Structure 1
């Protein structure tokens, strides 16, 4: 076993969390910046219609990310615990299965979406005036589906063996390249939203190649030796069972986006969809660093749970929750104090600024609860507690948010869309807290060694 993996069981929790979480935090921060910069260039290079087109196409991108997260996080959870238990061969088998699952699923999704692309865009809530623009963007994104899913899934695998720096560098390389190519393609070559899509595909391809070189270099604890061109049904199902909550959480994001876009089309029109596109990018930027903290915590939890060092697991979880909550409070303060300044980064249109300011403040009104929710879900995934993680993943977006999105606009119009987000956050936080207090002691008295 490489030294980077052994440290997970012996190094001090504080320094270990810093060593794993800071690179993940930086990587996710840079990825968040990419999403922000991408939207800025589309807004100024194409206009609010371009931002609306990106928002309409977002569900398909979320499905691709959801598949990558399911296989990557599910595989990473088992790999961390296998390395902690000294089962190197099993860790390699899981690694090989994840590669196959990622490749086959991304190709399948791309083909199906290409076949039904026009009706899908209509289902996603696209007004007629931006249908063609959305199709142009989405068609190019699908060409890079395999690169996107491979890079995202393998980043989780790299973190599972304790090598957060390589995962961070992958995200930075992709994000920086994307930010460089965006203005060249969108404004320099006047490609519009197609330029944004092409920049994304190229950046993701480079990230995927970078990770492949890492695994072939011998620096990884995991090995491609003995790689077989076949799927193991039992292993694949186990990977998917653990990673399924991540799939549900991100897929739920697609369902939420579709529901929001439909309600916005009914009660606000294309401008409202563009406003949501901007507000959602800012909200995602807030969440990404918290995801970085959770990603840094998960290998520690998984490895030490596998080696039965439960005191280290508890210390890692507590530290992760404290840091994530502090980040949530900081983000909430910035959004509530400077909402109009944040929206002005994306647009100089007065109506867009006015509507966006109001939407942003309301959407993130309960942001201080977000950190706890994310860490709680990540904890149960790292422990292999698929059922509990599944419930937590469903709670905010499917069980709470979608019904609120369908009901509240009937009484409050456009404002009802924005009200739905903080109400869902408060309900989801309450349920997470209840689940954690009920299962914590029992879970560590009866560890389910998977």
Structure 2
């Protein structure tokens, strides 16, 4: 790699990340059924009908996995807690589930790894999904209760906490596009979820403050919104996409207001008295996380609002078919800092690529991807962006949601038959970069 730790400011944190349902093995430890377990049984919803019942068996193999984090030279490990493991029905405590995360956090500290927790990374207890899930306000209240339980058990040992990972995916991708659990696909469901997930973030942040948990932030996904052509309708479509994908949660968290252009389209689908929730959503944050993978070349489809489509661009692609566009990360970091977050420290909370690979393979594409995006971070820092850390997604190959186990994002190859872990060349390249300087 062309960059090393020495190129970054003193104290810059390097981390790697996973999420609970994707690696733990949800069939272990008394975990309750999630809406992903249900979604995976829907014909055609998940590739090969895969689910997270075993995944990477991190539930039993976590000491080995934490050793890999340490030996890779990473300062921190971004992990998530499973609501359905800790509260199988979304309400009642499973002591065994909470004890697992107690051991996990202590294991990080024993190895000198800073624990970066995300409370919710997409696996909703099925019992709450049955009652409306994120389209219902009651789920928000139950999430606040869950947050309190985690804060009281783990909060004194965590380096940082984000309530919800990628709220756009939790809400819009899953309730309007229907690509993820619970697989809903109406504008009304999507709009209700967009507001309730934002409110869940705000309520959880307030609970964390009340419980004196330090370093509370957010982890929100962004894509560089590019009009596919110079036609006015496509330029306007890219602005609509930017509003829904990039500006909705950012505006609520830092301005206490949703973007007017998106509200116009959401119209009567917003929950009653939603305006009363904006002060709760607009919580002070100690840091703000950016998950970045690609750009989107947007077109106007001519259909019903929001009438958004996309076309494939000319740049090299990952195994997901996503364009590799490091400049988008530099541009987004600068825009977010300038127009929204000001002096709030920023953190790249996810960045990585899916690549078809096998143990011992060259893995040059992933090394180049990581190197280019670390360079993009340095460019942002040089312009004054207060960027304080970078997270490589992901530590392990894992359950990639609707794409099952086919797509591999890991720095470490997982043989799903034997659960053998084999570090890839990209893992070793990162380790060398992080131990230099």
Q: Normalization by structure 1: what TM-score?
A: 0.29
Greater relative contact order (Cα < 8 A, sep 6+) = 1
